A and B are shown apart, each in its own frame.
Chain A
């Protein structure tokens, strides 16, 4: 047997007693079809399972098919919609998957009865990095987490996205050994331990930790040795030796009421990030600490660093309060005497209504709606996490509490059951409030009305490039903004591999459609010319009852001067 056939036969997943044939898989009523092939090293790969997932159902009951002797797969009976088609081949990486978290395979926007053919899915055998982690005495480090970073186009290290539930592969076993496999091609750095850096909010359950060490024995990224991973490569003996462990610290303190000075029990406290000039910068990491009967708390296992200690309102503590962050510098000692003051936060309450329809099924969706409030502080910077969330009650009433003072923007929380609903306008005491709602410290604002509309219309479109090619490794997004609305929570859709997209669940109105690239951390930087050109692409379309509109967006790359 030739070497290539051997490589192919590894992919024959357990169907040994049945002849390997492409199974046409039908789903619910529909007439579209999708077919294509899976390729490995330029040759068809047989026996590979291919899955077709939709945006809302994910893997649940998603149709699956196995490739036949010619590496072909075939799906029939598909309803129109947005799909992603990907090969399920653990240990193999797909060039499409490596750059975007949660976005696998190729995106396809199918119309009713459409026949999509020649979808090519390429897989490559992933690379392996394996080795052992020991301490300064040569003893194995057990269950120590490995950190992997991948160098981007400018040789800057960036985090790696995990694409499988096998997180154990990034941890040493009881012998101190690890084996990371299925890695896409690239240049990697491997390290163990924690770096004390501004903005990392780390609490561990352990008393000891190791300062970060890169393979083989480097304490900084610049001295780290790069590991080259290519298709099917195996880098073994990537051993790391750590230095002596350091201690995590505990933080002791009390939660008190800002006004009365009385201790407050049952409040959760955690860590927030700090800017270079020592102010709370946002973010929150829970510590498992909660104030006791005398208001006291103890955080266990905090890494040395600079943090803001903040209290977080939750259901258990009654919610509705904000706290003044306390900046602490944790070195080699326990920190004691931290006093966290809490005060009543501002709140916004009112009612949510759905306009333009009396359909009880749609009105019933009211209780599925969640409202998120983001506060832009007008004071001296953020205090607690500057957001709040509330579920709408069955009668449409809501109350979002625990807000700091500032300008509050309200948006809808993202449950897929709410699709079709969009915020048309927000009113305060009858007057429209398009810029948001101003709240003072501790103010309980009432009389807010959030008006929703329900949309069933769609915009179908195509994105075409002329005079050039799209940069490799980028995906694009089409968004639709109602011209009479400020730019907030615009619905949109990913543009698929063929340049097609459909934006659904829109209410009637006039829309402006634009295109933007998804952020690709590993890709080549997009030139300013390109960014300028793509941001100038827009089209307008009017949606009225009963039909869907089509739009074509054209990016003319020949317009830019001095293109590469």
Chain B
């Protein structure tokens, strides 16, 4: 399932860990009890760690028995666009977990809606969850507009969630060869190029289908948007086909650059999307995958993928074979000419420690490319905790919130191959009941921390690392010293391949303010641009480089906006249009992160002269913001 944070497969969700790591965590928490012989009752001293871990592996089923665990509910309704409830839809509930703690009382991760479309999950531990309706009978979840995307999708105990389903669209057509003969059982793929709002997206789509014995295919249950449709081989499984060596053919009969786009509406059907199959033999990219930690289990799967973000995310995957010398050979067939990035991955399932190679550019031009060596590197991790500072002012609140209900997003830059602009993506992780987090499966990169707070009264005061001497020379981005709190927030944490960083502290304080209002167009009476960002910029000179004091949010289609979790102080507000070609699933990093962008933003914000002063717990409404 695609998430709005980008390919789940490329960036781990951070909720997997190696067995060894997990056991050590439990040791530290001191929560394991041994109550069966023959494992002797021993104190938790490091001398006896070895026998301890043996005992742990047997008896760790006695993981935290939270006596009288506090539990709550999440309720909701699944409806169609006219508001009618949809019965018998399966809804999935998944926690943003950091470890293997059981999160639900009764582990109810599925529920079905009743005749009125209502559903309920009970016995839930105070965590953060995602609630997703299973696409069913041609209906899909209505896409969330870009202005609501940053907060949506996270639900805490006590929430009531409404999920709107819309009828998907359909695309049908026929695949034939130059002589008009049907192509049987060829895989046809839909790839979204623009979403329903017309924003460009990279690499979205629906699931592929096969042609039948007359060459016809039918793809239904598609999100509304604009698509290209193409044939593709899929040589990852044990089923070879006669099309495996061919390059993709895009509707009507072309390569990606000259493909005809198809617009799909909710409940609409576009027929006659025929493909005249070209069947040009593509090239082969082949080589070896080496590295990884020690001797790999024979059961860990190795995958190599080729992606082409520049021309619209063509990707090829490969079958691999283990050789006698322990290396893995790979060969990707049917590759058309172009510039790609190739990455190998291993493990990450069934508690296999994951490894990946650094994405490498590859150019295919008229010939096979062989001898590509990909070296698997371990993933790194970032660990730390949130702390809640006792603040002089505490806002009124109806219920007691725990740190466990916060989330941490790690945001990082992705530089696609070719000339496409950089994008940022996020990994979102939950916290333990002590407010601790460990995000696993991180590749070498520079990570910015974006805490997501569960209520309006908190704001992030500071982010620090324990190690003042970490010398980050990450794979991407300039080197920076993480020696001061402001540095971590501003330049993020640079992680080397396989590096495990701990001791990050996010200090949260009570007393946050909020401001909401509307954007006024630059000229009286003119229309607002389609995508508008509202920026909050600290007006005090002392805070000019404090990244934590900056915020940006998308305005809704009517120009309204809301900014929460703001530290008290003086601010400017300004609205700026987002560039037309900015993909909605891959926005660039926030302006505040880059010194030059920040300076530019400050100039524009100051020029608009919309200044506010926020006191602790204050809520300003109806604020007018001008567009630059």
Contact = CB atoms under 8 A, between A and B. Distances in A.
Interface of A: 9-10, 12-17, 48-49, 51, 53, 56-62, 64, 88-91, 102, 126, 128, 142-143, 163-166, 168-169, 173-174, 179, 181-182, 205-208, 252, 257, 259-260, 262-267, 288-298, 300-301, 313, 315-321, 342, 344, 347, 364, 367-368, 370, 391, 394, 401, 415-418, 444
A288 B100 CA distance: 15
Interface stretch (B210-218, B391-399, B553-561): B210-218
B185 A58 contact: no
Given A12-B181, A14-B278, A318-B58, A168 B107 contact: no
Nearest to A142: B137
B579 interface: no
A91 B185 contact: yes
Contacts of A56: 321
A298 B108 contact: yes
B240 A143 contact: no
A89 B242 contact: yes
B262 interface: no
B64 A265 contact: yes
A289 B104 CA distance: 10
Given A294-B105, A296-B105, A319-B57, 8 more contacts: A13-B177, A13-B242, A60-B329, A289-B107, A367-B295, A368-B295, A368-B297, A368-B298
A262 B35 CA distance: 11
B66 A205 contact: no
Contact of A344 (B58, B63, B182, B238): B58
A316 B97 CA distance: 13
Contact of B57 (A143, A252, A320): A320
Interface in B100-121: 100-113
Given A14-B178, A166-B185, A179-B212, A292 B104 contact: yes
Greatest chain A CB density within 10 A among B38, B105, B182, B235 is at B105
A318 B64 CA distance: 12
A311 to B, nearest CB: 9
22 contacts: A13-B177, A57-B321, A90-B185, A165-B237, A165-B239, A174-B137, A205-B90, A263-B65, A292-B103, A292-B123, A293-B64, A294-B105, A297-B106, A297-B107, A300-B108, A301-B112, A316-B100, A318-B62, A320-B59, A342-B61, A364-B295, A416-B298
A171 to B, nearest CB: 11
Given A90-B184, A169-B210, A174-B170, A291 B102 contact: yes
Interface majority SS (helix, strand, loop, mixed), chain B: loop
B106 A415 contact: no
B59 A205 contact: no
Contact of B88 (A10, A13, A206): A206
A290 B104 CA distance: 9
A254 to B, nearest CB: 9
Contact of B242 (A16, A88, A164): A88
Nearest to B172: A173
Contact of A91 (B184, B277, B279): B184
Nearest to B67: A294
Given A59-B235, A165-B239, A169-B212, A14 B320 contact: no
A328 B182 CA distance: 52
A165 B90 CA distance: 25
B213 A265 contact: no
A95 to B, nearest CB: 18
Most central of B62, B105, B106, B186 by chain A CB within 10 Å: B106
B246 interface: yes
A168 B108 contact: no
A207 B331 contact: no
B140 to A, nearest CB: 11
Contact of B319 (A9, A58, A174, A259): A58
B220 interface: yes
Interface in B476-527: none
Contacts of A62: 240
Given A164-B185, A164-B239, A296-B106, A174 B220 contact: yes
A206 B100 CA distance: 27
A57 B65 CA distance: 47
Nearest to A141: B137
Contacts of B3: none
B57 to A, nearest CB: 7
Given A165-B237, A205-B110, A444-B38, A173 B65 contact: no
Contacts of B111: 300
Counting from the closest, the 3 A-B pairs by CB-CB distance are A14-B279, A90-B185, A207-B112
